[in-house]
Structure 1
Amino acid sequence: MTAQLKPAASETFEVKNPATGESVGTFAVHTAADIAERVAKGRAAQIWWAELGFDGRKKRMSRWVRWLARDCDTLYDIGFRETGKPKADVQFELLAGLEDVRWAAAHAKRVLEEKRVAPGIAMVNFDARVSYEPLGVIGIITPWNAPVYTAFCGMAYALAAGNAVILKPSELAAATGVYAVESFYKANPDAPEGLVSWITGFGETGSALCKSGIDKLGFTGSVPTGRRVMAACAENLTPVLLELGGKDATVVADDADIDAAARSVVWGSMWNSGQACVGVERVYVVEKIRDEFLRKVEENAKQISVGMDELSDIGPMTVPAQIELIRRHVTDALDRGATALVGGLDSIQPPYVHPIVLVDVPEESSAVQEETFGPVVVINTVADVDEAVRRANATSFGLGSSVFSKSRGAEIAARLRAGGTTINSVLTFVGMPSLPFGGVGDSGFGRFHGDDGLREFTRAKATTRKRFSMGEDMQQFPRPKEQFDVVYKVLKLRYGRKFR
């Protein structure tokens, strides 16, 4: 591959496995000067990439997918050593990421190529077209909890739209980000230096990327960091896409498939040790089926294996501070009268947190109102679906949600304030590249995935062309009275009637 640029500064940091302390690698702390060099090289390389056209970009992105599929064992090992997460979780991330790359490359032409549109009656003598042009150089900042998926997801849509990309992975998952970038060159050795590049470091490096003059920044992470990212980007009016935290709710109606609901809630709340912005954190179950539902949740949760075996169900927590936040949420809930159906404070055994299921947690508690980001789920009882929806919508977050109901799923889903809702399952909209993914409220704005995700990394351009003259032109002086009279009648006829 094309060699990575040498950093201007010599400061480095080490990435270690959160459970074993094993060193995964040493990485540079890149500076503003390093980033400026990457932006310059990215601008030059982006011209080559844009000129390839949709078909040329699709060909090279398809090569990338094939190369990654053949080399998947390398990534499984990096992810397992770097985050401690089971290899099955790394595999899940890679599968979703590869599907994003494949879908974006395959559909970019359909979504973004120039299209003819109706000019409207006032400009009927004009040809009207809309096109979507690449922005230039895109910065992507990814988190530590899903480093494989978010790297490939962010890169996929930006590249398919014709842009160059600078990727900054979390300092806790740097090796994954470096692999994601270098794999592109492994598959496409003819690609120019700078088309895709990586930078590593801490918050200062991310801030420097925001202020570097890139053309857009896509960020996935926490709400507090998202606010800082947005403020830094505002200095140059750099647009941002923010995919932030969640406090996702699940509604279990009285006609739900209780077995399926219980299995899904346990998986959705405990997968990846609960370290997922779209993880199930709150459940509202209708009183009529409460006892049976809780019994099945308890059975499922107690079967989860925790540890560093390659195929354990859940692994260690990645960040020590997150463990203390979990301890605070669980303590607050229990102090306010909640019951631990599964686990409790003794489940917190750093670097692991074993599954915790809390029941009857007051709505004002931190475990209900704040993002926990761990293998903890709150299950509260409601009188009916109306109460469930009201409580589900009563936070500042609005990322994902889910509903279990045999007959009212669509109706309930339509009432939930969230960027995506799954009926009779959980999280599925995240793994579908054809659907937009993002949130509302404190969960951010903008969308990855789907047609909307491709357009996020473009600028819409309108082009008109005069095809023929229509006598007296409305766009010139003087304005004849006869023209006014004709337009007056047309306006009354066209717009004074009921729309069809």
Structure 2
Amino acid sequence: MTDWKARAAALYDGSFRPMFIDGAWCKGRSGKVIEARNPANGDLLATVPQGDAVDMDAAVAAARKAFLGPWSKFTPFERQALLLRIAEAFEQNWEDLCLSDTLDMGMPIQRTLGNSRRVLGMLRFYAGQAVTIHGQTIQNSFPGEIYSSTVREPIGVVGAIIPWNAPIAGSIWKIAPAIATGCTVVLKPSEEASLTVLMIAKIMQEAGLPDGVLNVVTGLGTEAGAALAQHPGVDKIVFTGSTATGQAIARAATGNLKHVSLELGGKSPVIVCRDADIDQAVPVAAMSVFANSGQICIAGSRLFVAREIHDEFMRRVADYASNLKIGQGIETDTDIGPIISARQADRIAGYLAAGPNEGAKVLAGGNRADSPALQGGHYIQPTVFGDVTDDMSIAREEIFGPVISALPFDTLDEVVERANATPYGLAAGIFSTHLGTAHKLAHRIKAGSVWVNMYHAIDPVVPFGGVKMSGYGREGGIEHMQEYLDTKAIWINTD
């Protein structure tokens, strides 16, 4: 059995970890650093540079040089081979990558280890896609006189900004399609969780990634992130994070009319119909929120339950929540790990207080978790609220914590209207044993992804993204590749 505590001590010892620009490891112009602390206990893991606009200029210049230079000569087959080597390197280093995520942002180690199929699948899927890029021959209005066709070309330098809640998968979802299409990347990880992204850069460099194809600038969102979003040398911005930040990035990108893809917040509904299989639905509905301590954009935090089964269902969800183990992420039996930071824990605690103040009833949890074993960390009990109404803040606002709001409903027409009455549209879940009911609800719910009798399923071949204020653009599937390509029309006079 792996001794995760011993491996953790060997992996991060509080030392400085430089950022990565043009194949070199750099301290950053300002000399300022950001502390990376373990949210489970407050221990210092490492320090990273607090990059600024000058560092971002250097990274964008390196990405542009690589894009116009040797990288542009790589054939689709060579890009495919590179991605396959990276996948092999990830497989060999998988436990260290997962441990890094667990230490840096708190996700339980069993959950990070379980993401291997998704992450390695992404790398190999995009490797396959690298050799499928093609244009079309078009039959125009001048047959025999003018030949017309299209080619698909890499969009250029991609600026990627990712959040702290899933650094491994979040990074690969941005980097892999860029490599597959021949783009280059400047990646700004969250200041709350940068260490795994730096490890990813090292692994990719050792796998043969050419200099400048990937650059990682650590720093604050208000400094390095803002500089990347508005940089005139960036051709496309891809961002995952809050809706408010996504709006700011979209405004900043107008300077040179960058292409923009945004995967933003959500307040996703989970609908449990009266004919649902309760034994199946209870744990899935609960973990649609409690997974990763609720720090997931697709959390099914609005739990709509048919009135006929509401009381029994919510009693069982509350019992399930009360029996989840709260602990440090490196403990293999942990169900609920820490919240990323004291600031985020305080924000969630504000909603725990707001619920009862607005009339909701606490069915489970409702407080911070503060046992002696959790000292120094940021923990919130998995919480279930009953007697919730649609106008309460806990039912309207994205909490990004382990908090469920239960809402009874009477008819399918009613629940569709209420489920859609939100500015968000990222995901939804439906539980029903009636195929017709499931189909009808799935088509009527306004969301980018709808899961039926399941939740959280994400696969490289299936597109993922939101509608309304949950963003635009898709990640995954062939649609994702198109986000990194431009179409050029070519006309040839053959007369």
Counterpart for residue 160 of structure 1 = 180
CA contact (8 A) 1:402 1:422 kept: yes
Counterpart for residue 206 of structure 1 = 225
Cα distance in structure 1, aligned partners of 2:493 and 2:202: 48
Shift in Å at residue 326 of structure 1?
1.9
- Find the partner of 1:440 among 467, 480, 491: 467
- Secondary structure of residue in 2 paired with 1:364: coil
CA contact (8 A) 1:161 1:455 kept: no
Shift in Å at residue 467 of structure 1?
5.4
User: What are the within-5 Å matches in structure 2 for residues 96-495 of structure 1?
Assistant: 96-110=118-132, 112-119=133-140, 122-125=141-144, 126-188=146-208, 191-202=209-220, 203-212=222-231, 213-308=233-328, 309-311=330-332, 312-345=334-367, 351-407=378-434, 408-428=437-457, 431-466=458-493
Shift in Å at residue 451 of structure 1?
1.1
Shift in Å at residue 414 of structure 1?
0.5
CA contact (8 A) 2:101 2:166 kept: no
CA contact (8 A) 1:339 1:359 kept: yes
Cα distance in structure 2, aligned partners of 1:4 and 1:192: 14
Where in structure 1 are there 5+ consecutive unaligned residues? 469-500
TM-score (norm. length: structure 2):
0.89
CA contact (8 A) 1:287 1:384 kept: no
CA contact (8 A) 1:4 1:197 kept: no
CA contact (8 A) 2:268 2:425 kept: yes
- Find the partner of 1:31 among 39, 49, 52: 52
The aligned amino acid for 2:92 is R
The aligned amino acid for 2:426 is L
Cα distance in structure 1, aligned partners of 2:150 and 2:309: 53
Distance 1:440 1:123, change over 3 A: farther
The aligned amino acid for 2:352 is V
Deviations 1:106-162 (A, max 9, x none): 12332x22233454xx45555443322101111111101111110111111111111
Cα distance in structure 1, aligned partners of 2:218 and 2:116: 21
Counterpart for residue 4 of structure 2 = none
CA contact (8 A) 2:367 2:380 kept: no
Distance 1:285 1:186, change over 3 A: same
Shift in Å at residue 399 of structure 1?
0.5
User: What are the within-5 Å matches in structure 2 for residues 75-86 of structure 1?
Assistant: 75-86=97-108
Distance 1:345 1:354, change over 3 A: closer
Shift in Å at residue 366 of structure 1?
0.7
Shift in Å at residue 77 of structure 1?
2.0
CA contact (8 A) 2:95 2:113 kept: no
The aligned amino acid for 1:99 is G
Shift in Å at residue 17 of structure 1?
0.7
Where in structure 2 are there 5+ consecutive unaligned residues? 1-19, 372-376
The aligned amino acid for 2:411 is D
| More moved, 124-133 vs 225-234 | 124-133
Cα distance in structure 2, aligned partners of 1:194 and 1:11: 23
Question: 1:43 and 2:64 equivalent?
Answer: yes
- Secondary structure of residue in 2 paired with 1:55: helix
The aligned amino acid for 2:447 is A
CA contact (8 A) 1:251 1:385 kept: no
Cα distance in structure 2, aligned partners of 1:299 and 1:338: 18
- Secondary structure of residue in 2 paired with 1:397: coil
Distance 1:123 1:304, change over 3 A: farther
The aligned amino acid for 1:361 is V
| More moved, 56-65 vs 235-244 | 235-244
Question: 1:70 and 2:92 equivalent?
Answer: yes
CA contact (8 A) 2:136 2:149 kept: yes
Cα distance in structure 1, aligned partners of 2:94 and 2:462: 25
CA contact (8 A) 1:323 1:348 kept: no
- Secondary structure of residue in 2 paired with 1:150: helix
Shift in Å at residue 104 of structure 1?
1.3
Shift in Å at residue 378 of structure 1?
0.9
Distance 1:348 1:421, change over 3 A: farther
- The structure having more radius of gyration, on CA atoms, is 1
Distance 1:109 1:118, change over 3 A: farther
- Secondary structure of residue in 1 paired with 2:343: helix
Counterpart for residue 488 of structure 1 = none
Shift in Å at residue 91 of structure 1?
2.1
- Secondary structure of residue in 2 paired with 1:280: coil
> How many residues matched?
461
CA contact (8 A) 2:267 2:300 kept: yes
CA contact (8 A) 1:336 1:362 kept: no
TM-score (norm. length: structure 1):
0.88
Cα distance in structure 2, aligned partners of 1:305 and 1:368: 25
Shift in Å at residue 247 of structure 1?
0.4
Cα distance in structure 2, aligned partners of 1:390 and 1:230: 29
Deviations 1:210-235 (A, max 9, x none): 22221111111111111222222222
- Secondary structure of residue in 2 paired with 1:288: coil
The alignment's C-alpha RMSD in Å is 1.9
Cα distance in structure 2, aligned partners of 1:315 and 1:192: 37
Shift in Å at residue 323 of structure 1?
2.0
CA contact (8 A) 2:298 2:427 kept: yes
The percentage of counterpart residues that share the same residue type is: 33
Distance 1:283 1:348, change over 3 A: farther
CA contact (8 A) 2:307 2:408 kept: yes
CA contact (8 A) 1:363 1:369 kept: yes
Cα distance in structure 2, aligned partners of 1:95 and 1:49: 29
Distance 1:295 1:12, change over 3 A: same
Cα distance in structure 1, aligned partners of 2:211 and 2:368: 52
Shift in Å at residue 99 of structure 1?
1.6
Deviations 1:302-326 (A, max 9, x none): 2211111422112110022222222
Distance 1:331 1:48, change over 3 A: same
Distance 1:461 1:365, change over 3 A: same
Cα distance in structure 1, aligned partners of 2:195 and 2:138: 46
Counterpart for residue 90 of structure 1 = 112
